[in-house]
Structure 1
Amino acid sequence: MDILKRPVLTEKANSLTEKLNRYTFQCDHRANKLQITSAIEAMYGVNVESVNTMVVVGKLKTRSTKAGMVSGRAAKIKKAVITLKEGEIIDFYSNI
């Protein structure tokens, strides 16, 4: 199970990073907070203070086809908001 899928790089996530030293990641929906903490610490070499998780339900999607209207949902995702200890940072753009 690959615990961390990708960092979430949105305006809201960037403002959390700048103001509160929090980073947002998309995670596997089966991962718990302890697994997420250990994965972050192993991958980035930082100390995690706290982890908050949320499951974001996929949006309803509807499209018109020959057979009529077809409706469904986008996949749900799990997001983790990581708070790091004071003075530590994660640089996502260093590997580019």
Structure 2
Amino acid sequence: MHPYHVIVRPVLSEKSNGVREAQGKYTFIVQKEATKDDIKKAVAALWNVKVQSVHTLLQRGKFKRRGARYSKPVLTKKAVVKLAEGAKLPIFEDQ
């Protein structure tokens, strides 16, 4: 996969910012078809950093109800990327 197609967007939440500051782990929403190796190569290629480890998870969406009907939850894939010691991503540090 092309590096620009692997990563959909960064996750900027209170919980992910706390993990980033405490442990140096960055969280991204990625394509469902992307493997850990694809994610590792994409982060290394886009920001010229060394990736130490990648953890992925599938997050199921919540069922929504409107009247008598339910909507299907959207399944998203998240990746938690740990960089080498001292490495930082500028996309998160500018916030």
TM-score, length basis structure 1? 0.89
Could you tell me how far 1:94 is from its partner in structure 2? 7.1
- Runs of 5+ unmatched residues, structure 2: none
Higher strand share: 1
Pick the structure with greater CA Rg: 1
Taking a change above 3 Å as real, the CA distance of residues 15 and 80 of structure 1, as seen in their structure-2 partners, is: same
Equivalent residues in 2 for 1:1-96 (5 A)? 2-64=5-67, 69-92=68-91
Q: Distance in 1 between matches of 2:64 and 2:11?
A: 22
Could you tell me how far 1:74 is from its partner in structure 2? 2.8
TM-score, length basis structure 2? 0.90
Where in structure 1 do 4 or more consecutive aligned residues deviate above 2 Å? 93-96
- Runs of 5+ unmatched residues, structure 1: none
Q: Distance in 1 between matches of 2:41 and 2:94?
A: 21
Could you tell me how far 1:91 is from its partner in structure 2? 1.5
Provide the alpha-carbon RMSD of the alignment.
Answer: 1.7
- Number of positions where the alignment pairs a residue of Structure 1 with one of Structure 2: 92
Could you tell me how far 1:26 is from its partner in structure 2? 0.2
Higher helix share: 2
